[in-house]
Amino acid sequence: MRMLQHPARLVPLAFLLAIVAGTAVLMLPISRAGAGGAPFLTALFTATSAVSITGLSVVDTATYWSGFGQAAILAMIQLGGLGIMSGATLLGLLVARRMRLSTRLVAQAETRSLALGDVTSVLRLVLLVTISAELVTAVALTLRLHHAYGEPWLEAAWNGLFLAISAFCNAGFSVYPDSTVKFAPDWLILGPIMVAVILGSIGFPVLHELRRNPLQPVKWSVHTKITLLGSAVLLLVGLLATLAYEWNNPATLGALDPADKLLASAFHSAMTRSGGLNSLDIGQMRPETLVISDALMLIGGGSASTAGGIKVTTFLVLGLVIWAEIRGEPDVTAFRRRISPDVQRQALTVVLLAVSIVGIATLLLLSITDFSQQQILFEVISAFATVGLSTGITASLPPSGQFILVVLMFLGRVGTITVATGLALRSRQSPYRYPEERPIVG
């Protein structure tokens, strides 16, 4: 009964149970390509990475796991992808239903957001969007893999489906040992994957609004406008930064022609949103590129999406707070709408908690490994933001280090939703207010 009184607790519990079940399945001998079952930590790490749709791995997915094991991983990815979208949407509806009817009606009219009525229809639309995007992407990839790379139809169909689900769910897993490096110059492979990743990272509430009013921005909510604008700007920043810093790097873009450099840079930028696949060797990138990638990964994608991170809206709300403070304005506004002080505090809480978790995990890993701070920080942010990109040190971490990443992946997948929803559910009016003071800041 107490669980029902705090619905935000349902999400971490459901993900935890899925991870436990996935670990048990992957420890079975039938799940491994070699003899015997997978060790506990290997199975736990892989299951957590799959259910949290991260993509980090301590073993090669293509060779370590059998066909059954790969199918189990794919099922966990799909469950994690559907779970995060439907779970976030349902929690949003539950939060709204805790408000008075008049407040809900005003909020719905002001934001033009999801209807607060039939939950079944909401979940049906989530499922429809997910399956449709994955099938279209799978067909495009299957045709290309068969005709351009000579893969038999059955193999091409499996590989195409795996990559499609992994892309839309922003999972970062690949059935190829080098992720997608072998497809670096191929627009017809990387293009559909990028589109699927971006669609999955935008968020279901935004896709819902675009479906209802595709060519009427005036009817879009502030959330949709912020998400679309922020996503476009961040994708462009990642593309330009990768081009600028890696253009002459012989280990990454240096050997490619200009068109292929553009494709590889765009792909890397899209993957930092939480996609996790890579067409370039991350470990050979320049320090400047890794720093930009750190920032993009930590920001992540849209709310109620398959992407991780603190979310685009959270980042931009804090940016708007700073801008309003610099200009001396009493209200924080976006697109001629005031941003609620409650939302501002929630955004600040999410960001500070995320930075604290990343900082503590980085310090712990630095104390038990010999890797550089830059490598450790990249790995920590990739795990917490459930991205899956890696400089190549994951498998070399000691067991305690790998377990830290397991905790980070779990916290990163369910933490921001649980915290944000819990704060919203606990929001209330106090019957009294203390006298005001103004501590010195700065």
Write out pLDDT tens, residues 400-421: 999 999 999 999 888 766 666 6
Summarised one tens digit per residue, pLDDT across range 17-30 is: 999 999 999 999 99
Among candidates 266, 122, 145, which has minimal Cα distance to 208? Answer: 122
Q: In the prediction, which pLDDT does 415 show?
A: 74
pLDDT, residue 116, reads 46
pLDDT digits over 393-402, tens only?
A: 999 999 999 9
With a pLDDT cut of 90, the percent of the chain lying above it is 64
Query: Looking at per-residue confidence, does 115 or 16 come out higher?
Result: 16
Q: What's the pTM? A: 0.88
Q: pLDDT band at 110, cuts 50/70/90?
A: very low
Query: What mean pLDDT do residues 89-103 have?
Result: 52
Residue 99 and residue 95: Cα distance in Å, rounded?
7
**The length of the chain, given as a count of residues:** 442
Query: How many CB atoms sit inside 10 A of residue 366's CB?
Result: 16
Average pLDDT over residues 219-228: 90
Mean pLDDT of 251-262: 93
Bridge partners for 337 per DSSP: 334
If you average pLDDT over residues 235-255, what whole number do you get?
Answer: 95
